[in-house]
Chains A and B, each alone.
Chain A
Amino acid sequence: MSNNNQDTQKLTPKDFKSDQEVRWCPGCGDHAIMNAIQRSLPEMGIPREKFAFISGIGCSSRFPYYMNTYGFHGIHGRASAIASGTKTANPELSVWQITGDGDSMAIGGNHLIHTVRRNVDINIVIFNNEIYGLTKGQYSPTSKLGAVTKTSPYGTIENPFHPGELVIGAQGKFFARSVDINMKLNQEIFLEAQKHKGTAVVEVLQNCVIYNDKAHAVIADKKNKDERQLVLRHGEPMIFGKNRDKGIVLEGLKLKVVEIGKDGYTEDDILVHDAKTKDPGIHLMLANMQYPDFPVAVGIIRSVEADTYENKMEDQIKQVREESEYKCVDDLLHSGSTWEVK
Chain B
Amino acid sequence: MSKKADVIEREEVVVRFAGDSGDGMQLTGTLFSDTSAFIGNDLSTFPDYPSEIRAPQGTIGGVSGFQVHFGHKQVNTPGDYADVLVAMNPAALKANVKSVKNGGTIIFDKDSFTEKGLRKAGYETDDPIKEDKLDGYNIIQAPITTLTKETLKDEGLDPKSILRSKNMFALGMVYWLFDRPLKYTEQFFEQKFKKKPKVIDANKKVLEAGYYYAETVELLTPTYRISPAEIEKGTYRNIDGNKATAWGFVAASEKSGLQLFCGSYPITPASEILQELSLRRDFGVKTFQAEDEIAGICTALGSSFAGSLAVTTTSGPGLALKSEALGLAVMAELPLVVVDVQRGGPSTGLPTKPEQSDLTQALFGRNGESPVVVMAASTPSNCFHYSFMAAKISLEHMVPVVLLTDGFLANGSEPWKIPKMADYPDIKAPVVEPGQKNWMPYARDPEKLSRTWAVAGTPGYEHRIGGLEKDELKGSVSHDPKNHERMVYLREEKVNRLVDVIPEQIIEGEQEGDILLVGWGGTYGHLRTALDELLKEGHKVGLAHFNYIRPLPANTDEVLGRFKRIVVCELNMGQFASYLRMNHPRYEYLQYNKVQGQPFTTIEIKEHVQKLLEA
Contact = CB atoms under 8 A, between A and B. Distances in A.
Among B34, B303, B477, the one with the most A-chain Cβ atoms within 10 Å of its Cβ is B303
B303 A50 contact: no
A136 B281 CA distance: 47
24 contacts: A47-B459, A48-B462, A49-B457, A52-B457, A65-B477, A70-B305, A70-B464, A71-B463, A72-B302, A73-B464, A75-B324, A81-B263, A84-B295, A85-B298, A88-B288, A89-B302, A92-B457, A316-B281, A334-B235, A334-B237, A338-B235, A339-B237, A341-B40, A341-B232
B462 A337 contact: no
Among A67, A328, A336, A337, the one with the most B-chain Cβ atoms within 10 Å of its Cβ is A337
A85 B468 contact: no
A27 B264 CA distance: 42
Interface string B256-288: 000101010000000000000000111110101
Contact of B288 (A48, A57, A85, A333): A85
A111 B291 contact: yes
B282 A49 contact: no
Interface of A: 1, 4, 6, 18-20, 47-52, 54, 57, 64-65, 67-75, 78, 80-90, 92-93, 110-111, 114, 313, 316-317, 320-321, 323-324, 326, 328-330, 332-334, 336-342
Given A72-B464, A78-B325, A114-B295, A54 B282 contact: no
Contact of B462 (A1, A89, A323, A334): A1
Contact of B456 (A6, A80, A86): A86
Nearest to A2: B460
A321 B281 contact: yes
Interface stretch (B10-18, B350-358, B414-422, B498-506): B414-422
A78 B294 contact: yes
Nearest to B244: A333
B38 A70 contact: no
A89 B467 contact: no
B182 interface: no
A329 B421 contact: yes
Contacts of B37: 339
Contacts of A342: 233
Interface in B401-431: 417-421
A323 B284 CA distance: 13
Given A4-B460, A86-B306, A333-B419, A75 B467 contact: yes
A72 B459 contact: no
Contacts of B295: 78, 80-81, 84, 110-111, 114
Contacts of B34: 337
A339 B34 CA distance: 11
Contacts of B596: none
B231 interface: yes
Interface stretch (B246-254, B527-535, B584-592): B246-254
Contacts of A67: 464
Given A72-B465, A90-B456, A342-B233, A84 B282 contact: no
B439 interface: yes
A121 B282 CA distance: 24
Contacts of B250: 329, 332
B184 to A, nearest CB: 8
B299 to A, nearest CB: 3
Contact of B464 (A47, A64, A313): A64
A83 to B, nearest CB: 6
B476 interface: yes
B299 A82 contact: yes
| Closest CB pairs A-B (n = 5) | A85-B302, A73-B466, A324-B282, A85-B299, A81-B298
Secondary structure of the B contact surface, majority rule = mixed
A341 B236 contact: yes
A321 B421 CA distance: 20
A341 to B, nearest CB: 5
Contacts of A81: 263, 290-291, 294-295, 298-299, 302
Contacts of B464: 18, 20, 64-65, 67, 70-73
Contact of B460 (A1, A51, A83, A339): A1
B146 interface: no
Given A51-B462, A90-B306, 7 more contacts: A52-B305, A69-B462, A84-B302, A85-B261, A110-B292, A321-B282, A339-B235
Contact of B303 (A54, A88, A114, A340): A88
Interface of B: 34, 37-38, 40, 184, 231-238, 247, 250-251, 254, 259, 261, 263, 280-284, 286, 288, 290-292, 294-295, 298-308, 310, 324-325, 328, 332, 417-421, 439, 456-468, 476-477
Given A85-B306, A329-B254, A70 B247 contact: no
Contacts of B184: 337
A93 B305 CA distance: 12
Nearest to B437: A1
A68 B238 contact: no
Contacts of B281: 316-317, 320-321
Contact of A336 (B237, B251, B284, B310): B237
B456 A88 contact: no
Contacts of B38: 337, 339
Contact of B231 (A70, A317, A341): A341
A340 B236 contact: yes
A85 to B, nearest CB: 3
Contacts of B284: 317, 321
A126 B240 CA distance: 46
Nearest to B468: A73
Contacts of B465: 71-73
A284 B362 CA distance: 46
B325 A328 contact: no
Contacts of B460: 1, 4, 49
Among A69, A82, A83, the one with the most B-chain Cβ atoms within 10 Å of its Cβ is A82
Contacts of A1: 439, 460-463
